[in-house]
Structures are given as C-alpha cells and as structure tokens.
A and B are shown apart, each in its own frame.
Chain A
Amino acid sequence: MSVTTEVAGRSRAEVEKVVDLRGMWIGLAVLNGFYLIVRIYEQIYGWRAGLDSFAPEFQTYWMSILWTEIPLELISGIGLAGWLWKTRVRDMSTVTPRQEMKAIADNAAWLVVYAAAIYWGASFFTEQDGTWHMTVIRDTDFTPSHIIEFYMSYPIYSIMAIGCFFHAKTRIPYFSKGYSIAYLIVSIGPFMIIPNVGLNEWGHTFWFMEELFVAPLHWGFVFFGWMALGVFGVVIQLLLNIHRVIGKEGVELLTGA
C-alpha cells in the first residue's frame, strides 16, 4: 500500500509541488533586509538628526519617513486585501485535496512571515523604545523610535495579519464560510494595538509621566499583544485540515499506528 502511494505521489509531485516556500523566503528576506536597513539608518540619523525635533534636519530625516510610511501602509494594506479577494477561489467545490494541501502549506508560510513581522514590531522595536526613552527627554510624540515602532513596524505586522486572514478566507475551503474566531483574534487583535497607540500618545502628552516602562498606560499593548496567541487555534485548525486531507491511510503511514 505504501509503495503505491509513494509512486503516485512522486509522479504527481512533478506536476505541482505542495510545499513551495519561495514566497516565504522572499518575504523573510525583504522584511529582514528592510529592517536591517532601518536599524542602520537610525544608528546614523538617530544621533545626527533625531535628538531635537524642532530642528530642520528632524523634518528632513525623520518626519519625512512618517509622512511617507502612513499613506504607503494604508495603500498596501487595502491593496493586499483587495488583491487577495479579487483573485479568490470562486467555487470552493472545485478545490482538489492536493490544491487544498498546497493552500494550507501556503497559509502556514504566510503565518511565518507574519510572525517575523511580529518579532520586529513587538519585540525588537518595542523594547528598543525603552532605551531611546532613556536617551532623550522627548519633545514630540514622533520620536525617531516612535516613528519606526508605532508607525512602521506595527502597521506592517497588522498588514501581514490581514494578509494571512484573507489568504485563508479566499484559498482554503475550511475558512471560506463563516469566520474562525481564532483567526479573527489573530488578525484584529494586533490591529487594535494601532488605536491603542493613540491612547498612549495622548496619555503621555497630557500627563507627562516619568519614564516608567511598566506604567499602566502601556498595559493596553500587553492586552492586545496576548491576542497573537490566537495562532494556537489557527494552527490547530490547519492541522485538523491536514489530518483530514492526508487521510486515514496517510496518518497510519506517518505514525505507524
């Protein structure tokens, strides 16, 4: 039995690969390459142009980024969702098990890039802000660190979350009807961090606090950060589908049960 499966699998594999990770590698390379450049940029222009927000060079080197990134992100997010919707599978009943398997693998690859974006936003650039708070007595909401953390890295992972959600919704039959609660949490939860930035900036501006990083004003971020754990449910849903598509025989082959 296993021999026939292997042979059949191999001949079909030449037709269409189920696991094709090129998109993921490109996504990871672009994302990491981009943030590496950002990190080098802030090393140079954080010190050279980012210390006094009333100086003209702050406009040139920092505010220009803010005014560019926000519309760019807005367009990218809407464009990505629109493109995924436009190219959706119109009739899910035509999806073969093999195509379904590929869609699930693709979605897992999307989630990897999403997680990498979460890493940069929630881990690197967030805690990095803690040290910039200890370097300047800030004179604006839009410090170099905030321009990158709040208005670049957070929107980027929100866009990725939207991408993951729409990819599943438009490509995988299981997700196409109704809404997976876990996937909603994963895609909307982090997005809620963006409005929370508004609350944060407002609070900091009108009640200057000494820079306690664990201040209650920051706990909204913590709460919305938990929402990334919705990926538990998403991955379990993906695995349930793999289990179903791979079939009883496949499970026996893999587990030896």
Chain B
Amino acid sequence: MEDRMTGKSLDIPARPYTGEKSRLSRAYDYLILVLALFLFIGSFHLHVALTVGDWDFWQDWKDRQWWPLITPLMMITFPAAVQAVLWPNFRLPLGATLCISCLLIGTWITRFFAYHMWNFFPINEVLPATMLPSALVLDAILMLSNSLTVTSIFGGMAFALLFYPTNWPIFGMFHVPVEYGGAQLTVADLFGFQYIRAGTPEYLRIIERGTLRTYGQYATPLSAFCSALLCTLMYPLWWYLGKAFATTKYVKNI
C-alpha cells in the first residue's frame, strides 16, 4: 500500500485483471446500467408526468409562479433516492444526472412520437423542461462535500435556483408578445389557442394570474427561492426513502 503513494508507482504500467471473473463483473456492469436506464425512464417519468405533467407538456403552462415552484420540487425526488444508493454504496457520483437524463430521454421520445407524430401537436408546443444543469451541480456538490447535510442545503437550493435561468434560453423566445385580435398574447399563449386541446380549456391552466398582494416584478425569483427551501427538505426525505428501498431485509411469511 505504501508503495502506491510513492512517485515510482506511477511508472509501473497498470495491468488490469482480464480473467473470466473480470468479464463476469463487466457483464454485470452493463446489465445493471441498462436495467437502471429503462427502470428510471419508466418510473421517474411516471412520477413526473402525473405530478408536473401539465406544466411540462404545454408551452402555455410554463409560467413564472407555479412552473418554477413545482418542477424542481418534484424532480429532485428520484435523483435524491438514486444518489442515496449510488454514492454511499458505490461512490458513483452520477445519481442525479443519470435520473434526469433518463427522464429527458423518456419525455423526448413521447413528445416526439406520441404528441407530435400521433396527435400532431407541434414539437415547439410540447418541449420538455430540462433539469440537467441542476442535476450536474447536485451531483458535484455531493461528490465534493460527501455530506448529506451540505448537499441538502446547498445542492437542494442550487437545484431549484438554477431551474429558471437554465431553461430561459429554451423558452424565452416563446414569451415574445404578439398582438392578436386586438389583444396582447405571448407566442406561447398563441400555441395554446391555435392547436386545439380537447381537454384543456384556458381556465384550467394553473398559472400566474396576478394578485393584489403581489409586487409584480419579482414573481420568478420568489418562486425559485420558495422552491429552493422546499427542495432542501425534499432532498433528505427522498434520500432516506431511497435508503429504505435499498433494504436487504427478509421476511419469513407474506
């Protein structure tokens, strides 16, 4: 062991073991990776579609008040659970990124092949939001700090606070105002009006409508910080939920 710490050990070429057991363990690596890929696309996507679905589906739901509040809050769940397994057990610092990548693969396939190719909604109306930058930061904070507390507070906050800025380059262009029938709309609103949805009347949208208690110009940062606080709580909750699912316990009878 001491020898490895000296400079000389670097000169010794690495000769990894290539026997049968090595091939075997490689095979498990691939099997488990593919398993994880499909499984997280499936279960995480189900979770997201039924908790933030409508905001994520439609351009005209992506507002300043609810979308940046709900999306990080519901999307930090599975990443925290997966991190709780991959980091302490295997020191793999990619739990959140793996989860979010899986989610994006799943949503993109469905948006394209179902929303667009089957029911002909234009792809620009049904673009999914991205949490990829947030997930990368979350993974990096866990890897560097190796601390649940630090990751909960700073990782959870970063996860939520980065959401709106990193999505702005994708969705900003749909906020351009247009005059339509004498009224002012955004391009996103126009999408909602033009491409008829049988079950989503305009009033169903859960989006910012303004209140007399709101100082109008701060909606987005306020939602982002509210979400940040909630994410710091959601993160440890789902960390321990992930731990619980990783149980190796047995029962005698069912």
Contact = CB atoms under 8 A, between A and B. Distances in A.
Co-assembled chains A and B: yes
Interface of A: 2, 5-6, 9-10, 13, 18-19, 21, 39, 42-43, 46, 101, 105, 108-109, 111-112, 115-116, 118-124, 126-128, 130-137, 157, 178-182, 184-185, 210-214, 218-219, 221-222, 225-226, 228-233, 235-237, 239-240, 242, 246, 250, 253-254, 256
Contact of A178 (B16, B35, B121, B250): B250
Given A43-B118, A233-B249, 20 more contacts: A6-B18, A46-B118, A115-B37, A115-B38, A115-B42, A116-B38, A119-B42, A123-B106, A128-B118, A130-B49, A134-B119, A178-B252, A180-B248, A180-B249, A181-B251, A212-B54, A213-B53, A225-B46, A232-B246, A246-B25
Interface in B235-254: 241-242, 245-254
B27 A19 contact: yes
Contacts of A181: 247, 249-251
Interface residues of B, number: 68
Given A123-B106, A213-B57, A229-B242, A131 B35 contact: no
B35 A111 contact: yes
B245 A230 contact: yes
B27 A127 contact: no
A236 B249 CA distance: 11
7 contacts: A2-B19, A18-B24, A111-B31, A120-B42, A184-B251, A214-B54, A222-B50
B20 A246 contact: no
Contacts of B121: 131, 134
Interface string B107-128: 1011001110111010000100
B24 A246 contact: yes
Interface in B5-59: 16-25, 27-28, 31-32, 34-39, 41-43, 45-47, 49-55, 57
B56 to A, nearest CB: 9
Closest 8 A/B residue pairs (Cβ): A211-B199, A9-B20, A115-B38, A118-B42, A128-B114, A228-B43, A122-B42, A213-B53
A17 B34 CA distance: 21
A131 B245 contact: no
A134 B27 CA distance: 43
Contact of B35 (A21, A115, A246): A115
A133 B199 contact: yes
Q: Is the interface of A mostly helix, strand, loop or mixed?
A: helix
B81 interface: yes
Contacts of A123: 41-42, 45-46, 106, 109-110
Nearest to B196: A134
B254 A218 contact: no
Contact of A119 (B28, B38, B52, B117): B38
B89 interface: yes
A10 B28 CA distance: 19
Nearest to B90: A239
B39 to A, nearest CB: 4
B201 interface: yes
A128 B200 CA distance: 16
Residue with the greatest number of chain B CB neighbours at <10 A, chosen from A132, A222, A229: A229
B171 to A, nearest CB: 19
Interface string B214-250: 0000000000000000000000000001100111111
Contacts of A225: 42-43, 46-47, 50
Contacts of A250: 21
B200 A134 contact: yes
A134 B50 contact: no
A120 B201 CA distance: 29
B212 interface: no
B22 A253 contact: yes
Interface string B60-85: 00000000000000000010010001
B202 to A, nearest CB: 11
A119 B89 CA distance: 25
A3 to B, nearest CB: 9
A129 to B, nearest CB: 9
A12 to B, nearest CB: 8
